[in-house]
Chains A and B, each alone.
Chain A
Amino acid sequence: MDELNNLFHGFGIAATLPNLGFMLIGITLGVLIGVLPGLGGANGVAILLPLTFSMNPTSAIIMLSCIYWGALFGGAITSILFNIPGEPWSVATTFDGFPMAQQGRAAQALTAAFTSSFVGAIFAVLLITFTAPFLAKFALKFGPAEFFAVQLLTFCSFVGMSKEPPAKTIAAMMLGFALASVGMDSITGTLRMTYGVPELLKGFGFLIAVIGLFGIGEILLTMEEGLAFRGKSAKINFKVVWQTWGELIKHWRLFLRSVAVGCWMGITPGGATPASFMSYGMARRMSKDPDSFGKGRIEGVVAPETAAHAAGTAALLPMLTLGIPGSPTAAVLLGGLLIWGLQPGPMLFIEQKDFVWGLIASMYIGNVVGLIVVLTTVPWWAAILRIPFSIIGPVIIVICAIGAYTVNNSLFDVVMMLVFGVMGYLFKKLKYPLAPLVLALVLGDMAESSFRQSMLLSQGSLSIFWSNPLVGSIFSLALLLLLWPVLAAVRAKLRGGEQLPAAT
């Protein structure tokens, strides 16, 4: 059991006093980010990333990943008490969580949500602990063609699985790739797409894009919703927690099912949001009494929260082993690794053992710390939500501006943040998905270089993607997913269908 040895070694690294302190700070900041409108996992981590440049990478990633866990926990608080999903993945939690709070069962709903998040995360971390080393070892054999095939699979599964129209998914993704290609070409050193603007030499920073798209864009959306926050208050005491846990044990099957949905959607880049909806839908369909869902069923809180947290955590598996993030927040963490000079991918497990296993161990500890923190501090977070938006709003704008500036100490980036913010608002309103844009922006360089290396190997022939069974099957699966909407449309023979089934 090599993994267990490594894991214990990791605990030794993660459980030092400074690192535990960073965990606590991370969780607290994360919950705060999850609770505040306009700040979420992805842009919260993006804003705080520059502050960690001077820290050692292990402590930094522990703090940042704890921010991520905290944000996952925090989203549940606003959904249940205020019927405002602080994060997109907690939308499904509002369906039953808020009715429960209205019936005076807020404490039960919160306990159920936090516990479910915890269970989801722990199972996903177990999955990471035991499969990551194998996946990494397997991926060591990958050449550029295999890497490009996996990257293509990532992007095609967005097209195949997202509920947004395929044309908009593709457009968002291609925009991400296009923005990623601006600046100096990393292979030949040629300048491209800069049109003589010196600020574009570095290209578009994806951290700026994340802060703009998710932060400023979300502020604009929140503003549009009007500013009335009328929430329920909640106090959690130990007795309620204990009773709710007793009730939750009876739903162990639901937990396992939601964990499975979540882990699957996290590894494939479906992400936490679809995972939570899918799991909620499944729980309702498989229930004996589907009509009572939406009226305050505890299962309606357990299913989406478990799946969302499992997905959010499992998204780190492909990020660490293949260098392909499963969610926008994982993409930001990946960006952090690159900035600290760590190349994510299979070699990480060989060259940076301390880092990898310290991080994995911190996931266990971080989630335990997180559960305790949120269970004990809920009333304070609820109080923060009562601060009017007319105060919180401009403060968050200031935070975003500072975050955008500190990435590269460039004022041009602050202006770009505003542009991305307006774009994020328009995209959200017109139902363009943002996740593929961010992922393409992060992976653009990598995907391009692996594609060009493959082309070099094969002298420009696409046949390299079918040159052995491994790359062939991944590549074929990717194409199948890309064409999935077309196939589904043909099969359903929808009359007056939305889109013309034309391949792009």
Chain B
Amino acid sequence: MSAPEGSSAESGASKDGVGSRWPELIVALLLAVIAALVITDSLRVGSGWGEDGPKSGYFPFYIGLALLGSAVWIAASQLRHWQRNPLFAEKAQLGLVWAILWPMTLYIGLITVLGIYLPSMLLIGFFMLRHGKHHWGLTLAVALGVPLLFFLVFEKWFLVLLPKGPVEALLGF
């Protein structure tokens, strides 16, 4: 079965693009680290046979080994074919990904302090002004309207409480 994707050439990396060689190796390394954590802790709780049957580490130990094995396999396959370096993403594309990733990270950081409503307004507002170049009026309407709608749907209609911060407390919620 040939999947008609076809866009990833064997060596698509050029000066405008980032090759997948290093991402490939880094992800394999991360998987190996996770595998090491799993194996270490499985050995700690016991990976063998206890008085009443298999111990808690019995199953995860082999899972860890298999994860480690496949990570090594992936890394080895990349190392053996060092030249193989298909395009991971173009630099411009990575720029776009970053342009949404950092506001998102900041947003989630702010949620833990300010609750969900205020950061949501800021995120939507920032994104609409910065990337959409929308009109102030529209931006304000969406940025205020959407979180307000969620407030009504979740807290009033379905009675699901969402995280709130000091500002909401000031308003009496």
Contact = CB atoms under 8 A, between A and B. Distances in A.
B17 interface: no
A448 B154 CA distance: 37
B120 A181 contact: no
Contact of B127 (A187, A394, A432, A500): A394
B64 to A, nearest CB: 6
A51 B60 CA distance: 33
Nearest to B20: A430
Given A393-B100, A426-B23, A504 B56 contact: no
A397 B96 contact: no
Contact of B101 (A192, A398, A422, A430): A422
B67 A390 contact: no
Interface in A382-437: 388, 390-391, 393-395, 397-398, 401-402, 405-406, 409, 411, 414-415, 417-418, 421-422, 425-427, 429-430, 432
Nearest to A499: B77
A50 interface: yes
A486 B73 CA distance: 14
Contacts of B74: 165, 167-168, 171
B70 A170 contact: yes
Contacts of A167: 70, 73-74, 77
Nearest to A496: B81
B56 A405 contact: no
Majority SS of interface residues in chain B?
A: helix
B104 A460 contact: no
Contacts of A406: 154, 160, 162
B152 to A, nearest CB: 13
B37 interface: yes
B15 interface: no
Range for the number of chain A residues in contact with chain B: 35 or more
B128 A391 contact: yes
Nearest to B55: A188
Contacts of A390: 127-128, 131-132, 134
Q: Interface extent on B, as a size class?
A: 35 or more
Interface in B1-57: 1, 3-4, 20, 23-24, 27, 31, 34-35, 37-38, 41-42, 44-45, 49-50, 53-57
A195 B96 contact: no
B124 A460 contact: no
A394 B55 contact: no
Contacts of B167: none
Contacts of B94: 224
Given A193-B60, A401-B116, A502 B158 contact: no
A388 B132 contact: yes
Interface in A139-190: 163, 165, 167-168, 170-171, 174-175, 177-178, 181, 185, 187-188, 190
Given A216-B104, A406-B160, A499-B73, A223 B97 contact: yes
Contacts of A430: 20, 23-24, 27, 88
A401 B38 contact: no
Interface of B: 1, 3-4, 20, 23-24, 27, 31, 34-35, 37-38, 41-42, 44-45, 49-50, 53-60, 63-64, 66-67, 69-71, 73-74, 76-77, 80, 88-89, 93-94, 96-97, 99-101, 103-105, 107-108, 111-112, 116, 120, 123-124, 126-128, 131-132, 134, 142, 146-147, 150, 154, 158-163
B150 A402 contact: yes
B96 A226 contact: yes
A402 B158 CA distance: 13
Interface string A260-290: 0000000000000010011001000000000
B42 A192 contact: yes
Contact of A178 (B4, B63, B73, B112): B63
A455 B34 contact: no
7 contacts: A175-B31, A177-B63, A223-B96, A223-B100, A395-B142, A429-B88, A499-B77
Contacts of A338: none
A368 interface: no
Given A171-B67, A219-B100, A397-B123, A504 B73 contact: yes
Nearest to B8: A431
B98 to A, nearest CB: 9
B161 A409 contact: yes
Q: Please provide the 7 A-B residue pairs with the shortest distance between their CB atoms, ordered closest to farther.
A: A390-B132, A174-B67, A171-B70, A190-B56, A185-B56, A394-B127, A167-B73
